[in-house]
């Protein structure tokens, strides 16, 4: 089954074609980073308008890349939530309309299920069950995954997501949007141990996260420095170490609580190299294994939506003709396909 995937939940237009027998056939991505940079963050109306401009040309590019015609597509998967409602409506309307015009089934996909299943696109995918850390600009969650659609929420952020904390702290440092990757790059030049940030909510039981306090701690620390490039690099290093240590501690607890040794890490922050190294070292120390998507599939992309949608379409699941979007859509509301 060949499935066209459409991802338009925020500021990236992602299109892909996934074949259930032959794997990923095409992958196209357009980022709106330059569009939003002048505003220091995503402007929802501008994001929606740009998705309108880019989605259909990218679909045609994906068909050309895969050497396919529209008549070769057997199903359409589109992100229905969570995300920006206007952006979601663009992809949902286009996806549902194409499915109707092509007379093929359509499926509404949960954005975070797409991220969670992104490592399945790799040559050595994880086997169920596993614990997943979903860590991005909008979400920080620990989930026990027993199968597709079989999700148990173990813990989540009670305020800022980890990626959001990265971006806000980067803004305090005067770094351009998107700040998270720039802060991580600056942290590579920071000196270890100059500053010590707290590891929030690790001094008590549980698997929930809180990162908003780190932003305040960073603001106070920045104000106490001379503002030099090295001083800011030292702050970036201490901030990143605090976030990564917190995530590792919580992952350790989640694996201990569930008795599992397989860990999947997905979402934009999963591209952070320091986080990858620390989680690799930790899982190796307990005889476990950690799985990441390739870097290009850590951020929003159509490939993860095409894959997730294909699993549900093959099982016989379908979305009706009514177009519905879910700006807020708890992952645990999903059920197993079939």
267 carries a ligand binding annotation: no
Residue 18 pairs in a beta bridge with 3, 24
Please give the structure tokens belonging to residue 171: 């803004």
* Strand-strand pairing, 12-19 and 23-31: antiparallel
CA distance 260 to 283: 11
135 carries a ligand binding annotation: yes
Please give the structure tokens belonging to residue 310: 């294909």
With tokens 């951020």, the residue in question is 299
* Strand-strand pairing, 262-266 and 289-291: parallel
111 carries a ligand binding annotation: yes
With tokens 């990564």, the residue in question is 244
Among 26, 83, 90, 88, which Cα is nearest to 59's?
A: 26
Q: How many CB atoms lie within 10 A of CB 285?
A: 9
138 carries a ligand binding annotation: yes
Range 94-98 contact pairs with CB under 8 angstroms and sequence separation of 24 or more: 94/6, 94/55, 94/56, 94/59, 95/4, 95/6, 96/319, 96/321, 96/323, 98/4, 98/59, 98/70
Please give the structure tokens belonging to residue 234: 């030292």
Among 326, 329, 294, 319, which Cα is nearest to 29's?
A: 294
268 carries a ligand binding annotation: no
- Total residues found in the chain within this entry: 338
167 carries a ligand binding annotation: yes
Residue 130 pairs in a beta bridge with 145
Q: Going by C-beta distance under 8 Å and a sequence separation of 6 or more, which residues neighbour residue 209?
A: 140, 155, 156, 157, 158, 162, 200, 201, 246, 247, 250
115 carries a ligand binding annotation: yes
CA distance 190 to 194: 9
Binding-site residues for Fe cation, in ranges, read 111, 115, 300
Residue stretches of the annotated binding site = 111, 115, 134-138, 167, 180, 272, 300
Which residues are annotated as part of the binding site for substrate? 134-138, 167, 180, 272
């Amino acid at each position: 089954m060949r499935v066209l995937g459409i991802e338009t939940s925020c500021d990236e237009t992602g299109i892909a074609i996934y074949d259930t027998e032959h794997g990923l056939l095409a992958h196209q991505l357009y980022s709106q980073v330059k569009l939003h940079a002048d505003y220091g963050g995503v402007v929802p109306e501008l994001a929606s308008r740009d998705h309108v401009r880019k989605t259909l040309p990218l679909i045609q590019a994906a068909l050309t890349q895969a050497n396919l015609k529209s008549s070769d597509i057997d199903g359409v998967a589109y992100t229905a939530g969570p995300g920006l409602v206007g952006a979601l409506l663009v992809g949902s309307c286009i996806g549902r309309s194409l499915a109707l015009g092509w007379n093929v089934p359509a499926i509404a996909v949960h954005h975070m299920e797409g991220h969670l299943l992104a490592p399945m696109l790799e040559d050595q995918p994880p086997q169920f069950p596993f614990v997943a850390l979903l860590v991005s600009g909008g979400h920080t969650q620990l989930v026990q995954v027993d199968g597709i659609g079989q999700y148990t929420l173990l813990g989540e952020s009670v305020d800022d997501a980890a990626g959001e904390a990265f971006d806000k702290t980067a803004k305090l440092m005067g770094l351009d949007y998107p700040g998270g990757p720039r802060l991580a790059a600056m942290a590579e030049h920071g000196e270890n141990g100059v500053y010590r940030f707290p590891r929030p909510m690790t001094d008590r039981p549980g698997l929930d996260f809180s990162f908003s306090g780190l932003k305040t701690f960073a603001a106070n620390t920045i104000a106490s420095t001379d503002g030099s490039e090295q001083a800011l690099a030292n702050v970036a290093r201490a901030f990143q170490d605090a976030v990564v240590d917190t995530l590792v501690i919580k992952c350790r607890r989640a694996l201990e609580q569930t008795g599992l040794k397989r860990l999947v890490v997905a979402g934009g922050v999963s591209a952070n190299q320091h986080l990858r190294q620390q989680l690799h070292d930790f899982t190796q120390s307990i005889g476990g294994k950690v799985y990441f998507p390739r870097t290009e599939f850590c951020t929003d992309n159509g490939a993860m939506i095409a894959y997730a949608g294909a699993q549900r379409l093959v099982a016989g699941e379908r979305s009706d003709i009514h177009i519905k979007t879910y700006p807020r859509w708890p992952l645990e509301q999903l059920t197993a396909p079939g």
